[in-house]
Amino acid sequence: MSAASRMKKPGANEHAEYYGRYINLVPEGDIVATLEKQGAQFTAFLRAIPEARGDHRYAPDKWSVKEVLGHMIDGERVFAYRALRFARGDQQPLPGFEQDDYVKTAQHGRAKLADLIEEFALVRRANVLMLRHLDEAAWLRRGTASGYEISVRALAYVLAGHVLHHEKVLREKYL
């Protein structure tokens, strides 16, 4: 039995209140298995979106489908990097990241939707493999990111919840 399969959802004392909006979307259970399954399901959902729909915005001042997906990829990388650092016992506080600045400078609209989908799938797969090998002590380690203490376990749930949040937005407002 893996350490992740024995883990409960993180408590409110393991993360900033803001992240509760993502964590609360994720069902209880083996978070690594959840992330793996979600990665496959979300990638299949994305592959059904026509390439021509990639530049669609539901309002002039909103991100395009490609920009939403690019933001999700950036989020996967940032949250997993934090988890890696804290799992390894690194206590250096990590800065936040300004999502709008990332999206603005990344120019995701220049990429093919299919390439962004593949990138998400690969980043998620790498994150699953990294998390799968953590022991129980690593899951419970904490560090500071964006000025708030957060556990590795909470970061894994944030990874899953962030995707659930944006998938809902894509389904309801973009498609």
Question: Which uninterrupted H or E stretch holds 145?
Answer: strand 142-145
pLDDT of residue 74: 98
Q: What is the pLDDT of residues 3-58, one digit of tens each?
A: 765 679 999 999 999 999 999 999 999 999 999 999 999 999 999 999 999 999 99
**Which of helix, strand or coil describes residue 142?**
strand
Answer for the pair 80, 127: CB distance below 8 angstroms, yes or no: yes
- pLDDT of 5 reads 59
d(CA 77, CA 23): 17
pLDDT score of 1: 58
Across the range 89-102, mean pLDDT stands at: 96
pLDDT digits (tens, 9 = 90+) for 120-150: 999 999 999 999 999 999 999 999 999 999 9
- pLDDT score, position 45: 98
> What is the predicted pLDDT for the residue at 2?
76
β-bridge mates for residue 79, sequence order:
none
What is the predicted pLDDT for the residue at 3? 77
pLDDT class of 95 with cuts at 50, 70, 90: very high
Phi–psi pair at 42, nearest 5 degrees = -65, -40
pLDDT tens-digit readout, 97-125: 999 999 999 999 999 999 999 999 999 99
Tell me: the pLDDT tens digits for 58-69?
Answer: 999 999 999 999
Return the CATH architecture of domain 3-174. Answer: Up-down Bundle (1.20)
- Close Cβ partners of 46 (under 8 Å, ≥ 6 residues apart): 69, 113, 117, 120
Residue with tokens 């500071």: 144
